[in-house]
A and B are shown apart, each in its own frame.
Chain A
C-alpha cells in the first residue's frame, strides 16, 4: 500500500470555525489531490498540487484553500466551515501526473459541520 495518511480521520466542528485537514505521504510523489465524496455526487476534485508551492483549483474549490510547503504534506483548509462542507475528504497522490498515472488514495477524513 502507498504510504498515505490523513489526519484527523474524524472531526466534528461548528459552523464558522476554521478547519485544517492534513495529508501526508512517504512516497515522494510529485502530485497530490484533495477530493470530497458526497451521496448523489460521487467524488469531486477540490484542489490539486503539482509540486511544492504549486497548486491549482478543481471542480469544487469555493470555500477551500490549500498549501504545500513540503513534498510530503498537502493541507486543506476550510477558512469558515459551513454545513454544506460536511463530507468525506480523500487525499490522493500520483507520481508523474494525472495523465495516465495511477492515483493512490488515503483512508479518508469524515468531517461533520454542525
Chain B
C-alpha cells in the first residue's frame, strides 16, 4: 500500500510570497496528481505528472521519481489561491495525502 505524506499540513503566507508544498510517497508509481479543493468542497485536478516539471500559469509541479518526491510551487501567491492542496498517486484509483491547507493573506 502506498503511503502518501504531505508537508506542511497548514501554511499561512502573505500575498506575493513564493509557496512550496511537498509530497512524498513510499512505492514506485506511474503518475502523481495535484488537486485543489476550495472551501465549499469542489475538487479540481491541477496537474498529473510522471516525470520532470509542468507549469500552468503561476503553478509549477515537479517530480523526482528516484527520490519519490514531488513539489507544488505557487509564484506570486494571491488570496484566491487559498485552498486545500492534495497530492495523490495512481494505481487502481488514487491514494491521497491528507492535504495542505493554504491561506494567503492580503
Contact = CB atoms under 8 A, between A and B. Distances in A.
A41 B99 CA distance: 9
A90 B96 CA distance: 13
Interface string A17-29: 0000000000000
B93 A45 contact: yes
Contact of B94 (A40, A41, A56, A98): A98
Nearest to A100: B31
A48 to B, nearest CB: 5
Interface stretch (A68-76, A78-86, A103-111): A103-111
A90 B31 contact: no
B96 A100 contact: no
Contacts of B50: 100
B45 A103 contact: yes
B106 interface: no
Given A100-B30, A100-B90, A103-B33, A108 B41 contact: yes
Given A43-B86, A107-B41, A108-B41, A98 B98 contact: no
B42 A101 contact: no
A48 B92 CA distance: 8
Contacts of A98: 90-94
Contacts of A92: 94
Contacts of A105: 35, 42-45
Interface of B: 1, 30-31, 33, 35, 41-45, 48, 50, 86, 88, 90-99
Interface of A: 33, 35, 40-45, 48, 56, 58-59, 88, 90, 92, 98-105, 107-108
Given A35-B93, A100-B30, A105-B43, 16 more contacts: A40-B98, A42-B97, A42-B98, A43-B96, A45-B92, A45-B94, A58-B93, A92-B94, A98-B91, A98-B93, A99-B90, A100-B48, A102-B45, A103-B94, A105-B44, A108-B43
